[in-house]
Amino acid sequence: MRLLAALLFALTLSPAASQVASPHAIDIPLWFAETFLDLREDVREAAAQGKRLMLYVGQDGCPYCTALMRTNFSQAQIVEKTRRHFVAVALNLWGDREVTGLDGKTLPEKAFARALGVQYTPTLLFFDEKGAVVVRLNGYYPPHRLDAALSYAAGAAGKGQSFAEYMKTAVKESASATLHDDPLFRKTAVALGGKKPVALLFETPYCAGCDELHREGLKRAEVRTLLARFNVYRLTPDDPWARKLGIAYTPSIVLFDGSKEAFRIEAYVRPFHLAGALDYVASGAYRTQPSFQRFLQARAERLRPPGGKIDLWN
């Protein structure tokens, strides 16, 4: 009886509609919801509040997750907009909590993330009132880009436009007015299916991320060595390839092995992860290791100096 009483008392202290939270790389903001992780219920309850569901997938040791939480979600305008329009729920990429998807199937977090095809963290998925994904952000978006994406995901902007079309005009940046050239860029029409894999780099003028990519990422010796294993084409979002591939962010890099898309980078990425993505495809590792994050972890261990560590942000 004493044990039963203690159990009942413990239940009164626990949240009424939540599972025990999984650990994350950094503290999740207190305004994130803790629920039973039944996405059908989460979508319905968000809709009852006049909101939509925002699902965040992160992991321990992820510098981009840290940037999202400490940089983006420390800015009053972004926090206010997110809380006004969305119920935010967090998942751990490697977690074991049970998640019930919109199809009614229940899986552990890590298996659910795998089923969603999550390769980058953070990944943000925004669901409308009927449970349809209206926007998916694979990777880190800097604050001004996330702010614009939130408006679209909330249904408050970009009506009648695709997300890619909306982002072309919604985001204004102070950056170079001209495209950067590089001797690695091929001047011919895009041709898939050759002996080399293909990298399609999408850029625009006035793109601060493109400037940084050329200033830092493409200057790295390791990156240039890996890119030499590809046929590299630089395109703009007006190119038919951009429409075909649904490019919504610049810079984006889509990597092909033969005529098959193998991997893509469509968010802010630092040189270490850029090199990792190129290596993932150039080495053929993507064929046997479906988790890019597992590949990155193993790669970091191989490159780690004795007794030292690798700065994943740089």
> Using one digit for the tens of pLDDT, what is the confidence trace for 220-274?
999 999 999 999 999 998 899 999 999 989 999 999 999 999 999 999 999 999 9
Say if residues 216 and 271 touch (Cβ distance below 8 Å). yes
Number of H helices, E strands in the chain: 12, 10
Q: What is the DSSP letter of 304?
A: P
How far apart, in whole angstroms, are the C-alpha atoms of residue 53 and residue 82? Answer: 10
Write out the DSSP string of 185-202: B--SPP--SSSS-EEEEE
The reply to whether omega before 108 is within 30° of 0 (cis) is no
Q: Torsion angle, CA of 270/25/254/223, rounded to 10 degrees?
A: 30
Query: In which element (H, E) is residue 127 found?
Result: strand 123-127
Domains of the chain by range and CATH?
12-170 (3.40.30.10), 198-303 (3.40.30.10)
User: Which pLDDT does position 25 carry in this prediction?
Assistant: 43
Band of the pLDDT at 1, cuts 50, 70, 90? very low
Residue 5 pLDDT: 42
How many other CB atoms sit within 10 Å of the CB of residue 36?
16
What pLDDT does 310 receive? 78
